[in-house]
Amino acid sequence: MLSGRVLSFDDLKRIEQHALVTLQSKDILSEQELAQSVQQVLGGALALGRSTSNLVKRALVYMHQHYEHPFTRNEIAQAIGVTDNYLSRIFRQELGLSPWEYLTRYRIRQARQLLRITNDNITDIALQVGFDDKAYFTRVFHRYTGCSPSIYRKRRE
C-alpha cells in the first residue's frame, strides 16, 4: 500500500487484519527502490511474518506521529515492545531502509511540503520537522533533494 497520509493507530488496526500488506510512504523511496520493494513483495522474497510485519507498521505509525520531535531508535523500539537492534533488522527487511534513514527521508518530505505551502523561515521549518540544527538540516536537505531549502522554495514559486 502506497500512501501519502500520516498513519494513525486506527489505520494500523485496519491494516493489521490483512496478512500481506506492506506500507510505503510516497516520496520516501526512489523509483528504483520502490520497484525493487514491489518486486520483492510480489516474489515473496524475505517476507516477514504477519506479527513481525505489524511491528514494522507500528514503528512507522510512531514515526509519522512523532517525527517533529527528537527521539532515538531505542524510543521507537520501546514504543512497539522490541529491542532497538531487532527493530533495525526487521525494519530493513520489510522496507529496505534503517528506521533512521526512513525517518530522515520522511522529515525531508515533510519539509519539502512546508517549503511549498508556507512562508515560514528555514529555521522554523527545520524545527517543525524534527531538526534542531539549521545547518545540519540544510546539509541533509541538500543531500536528498540536490539543492538547499531556500533554492527549493524559489524553484517551487
The CB density around residue 42, as the number of other CB atoms within 10 Å, is 8
Same fold, 2-97 and 105-156: yes
| DSSP secondary structure letter of residue 81 | T
DSSP 34-54: HHHHHHHHHHTTTPPPHHHHH
| pLDDT per residue as tens digits for the range 37-59 | 666 666 665 555 667 778 888 99
CATH number of 105-156: 1.10.10.60
Q: What separation in angstroms does the CA of 5 have from each of 60, 65, 106? A: 12, 11, 11
The mean pLDDT of 91-113, rounded to a whole number, is 92
Domain boundaries, the chain: 2-97, 105-156
Residue 12 has pLDDT above 50, yes or no: yes
What was the pLDDT predicted at 8?
A: 61
Instruction: Tell me the pLDDT band of 80, cut-offs 50, 70 and 90.
Output: very high
Residue 1 has pLDDT above 50, yes or no: no
CATH number of 2-97: 1.10.10
What was the pLDDT predicted at 74?
A: 95
